[in-house]
Structure 1
Amino acid sequence: MKPIVDVPITGEPIRLGQFLKLAGIAEDGSHAKDLLDADEVTVNGETEIRRGRQLVNGDVVGVGSQQCRVTLG
């Protein structure tokens, strides 16, 4: 499994859909929605389907073998 990549945000909370784009996991909002609809996204190890889920510092988002941690930058 790949190491967890820290992705800095300027303020919390951040919506999951926005974070997927910021982290480079999703190309755009439509791609983020597709990933969520396909049950491919996890937050802190649990499947998440809500694009508007609020993420805070320390949350770990995963898609496949890629994992990114929300960090305040």
Structure 2
Amino acid sequence: MRIRNVEISDDSIRLGQFLKLSGLAEDGGHARALLEADEVTVNGRGETRRGRQLRNGDVVAVGDEKARLVVASPA
């Protein structure tokens, strides 16, 4: 299964925001619904907290789709 890298400029991002940014969720309401339905995992473990802080290298999955958080290197 392929993991898509999603780059951000900050050191961390909240899970709800990352779900939208990565395209794993269509919008905030969809992200909330996915979390409430226990359809989201972070690094292979179920997660229900929208505010969970993600850090460089964390892998978020919804169904068969996976996205890895990559913190951009300073220019």
Category of TM-score, reference length = shorter chain: over 0.9
Q: Percent of aligned positions with the same letter in both sequences?
A: 61
Residue 14 (structure 1) aligned with residue 13 (structure 2): yes
Looking at CA atoms only, which structure, 1 or 2, has the larger radius of gyration?
2
The total of aligned residue pairs comes to 72
TM superposition outliers: structure 1 runs of 4+ over 3 Å: none
What TM-score does the superposition give when structure 2 sets the normalisation length? 0.93
Could you tell me which runs of 5 or more consecutive residues in structure 1 were left unpaired when the two chains were aligned: none
Show CA shifts across 1:13-59 (max 9, x none). Answer: 10000000000111111100000000000000000000000000000
Residue 70 (structure 1) aligned with residue 74 (structure 2): no
Could you tell me which runs of 5 or more consecutive residues in structure 2 were left unpaired when the two chains were aligned: none
What TM-score does the superposition give when structure 1 sets the normalisation length? 0.95
Letter in 2 for 1:34: A
Please give the alpha-carbon distance, in whole angstroms, between the structure 2 residues aligned to 1:52 and 1:70: 15
RMSD after superposition: 0.6
| 1:30 alignment partner, SS class | helix
Match of 1:32 in 2: 31
